Amino acid sequence: IQATESALQLAIELKVDIIAVQEPWNLGSSQNLRDFTGSNRRSISHRSFTQILPEGNIRPRVMLYAARELQAQISTSPSFPTDPDCLLLSIRTRGLEFQLLNVQPKTIVLGDFNTYHPLWDSFCPTSSNASFLAEWFEDNNLELLNTPGEVTFCRTNQRESVLDLTLMSQDLADKVEDWNVLKSIGSDHHGILFTVKIGEEECTPSPVALQRFNTQKADWEKFRTKVQEYMENSHFLE
């Protein structure tokens, strides 16, 4: 819980638009892998972010937080298989459209791969399936953004290692700035922060920002007082 809350707060301070989480903490029982519906599917909430999880009633092991102020159209793919370990999103913003997690043109792949390979970690023994994974990255023209050897996982009494990888198709990798590791989020997995530099075209309204409000819960007396104070202290030109 603390690690998620810390990451959310840090995201606010750094003005992060999308947070990708693996093995999120859920309000439901951590032992019950099924019947994850309703409140059991919720993780740590934050008023500045909307949660996006895989469909289905099996406990999700991946999720994303999208900033409510993000000016983008975000949608899931109806043709993508329902899988608690995978989440495919189509994101369109400022004339740029790409998919998050799948291998398609303009693609970002993020995850805890639990695999050691000299391409990203030369200090650990190579995992049995690492060569296959590295070949898959190459076959799909995915560029590794990690700084080789820069630790992303650190746990007491275990070897520091590189488990969390960031990969992109070349057309997006060229737009990335300031990829770096954040070691202060309170988890044994460090956070990874980067910026995708895009154009200055007109922004698209964000569906997640267009939230409906329950006006029955509003404090109208307080609202009237605030409006009156604003009007009394404001100056207008006619």
* Domains of the chain (ranges, CATH numbers): 105-199 (3.60.10.10)
Per-residue pLDDT, 55:
79
Per-residue pLDDT, 103:
35
**pLDDT averaged per 10 residues, the chain (length 238):** 86 91 65 48 80 81 89 83 80 86 67 94 91 91 94 91 94 91 89 86 55 65 71 47
Q: How many CB atoms lie within 10 A of CB 200?
A: 7
Per-residue pLDDT, 204:
56
**Which alpha helices (DSSP H) does the chain contain, by range?**
2-14, 130-139, 170-173, 220-233
Question: Angle at Cα 235 formed by Cα 229 and Cα 236, nearest 5°?
Answer: 120
Strands (E), 40-190: 49-52, 62-67, 73-76, 89-93, 96-100, 107-112, 142-144, 164-169, 176-182
Per-residue pLDDT, 13:
92
Per-residue pLDDT, 112:
92
Per-residue pLDDT, 104:
41
Per-residue pLDDT, 37:
52
DSSP 207: G
**b/e burial code for range 149-177 (CB count within 10 A of at least 16 → b):** eebbbeeeeeeebbbbbbbbbeebbeebe
Q: Are the C-beta atoms of 26 and 41 separated by less than 8 Å?
A: yes
Q: How many CA atoms lie within 13 A of 197 on its CB side?
A: 7
Per-residue pLDDT, 101:
65
Per-residue pLDDT, 81:
74
Long-range contact pairs involving 132-140 (C-beta distance under 8 Å, separation at least 24): 137/167, 140/103
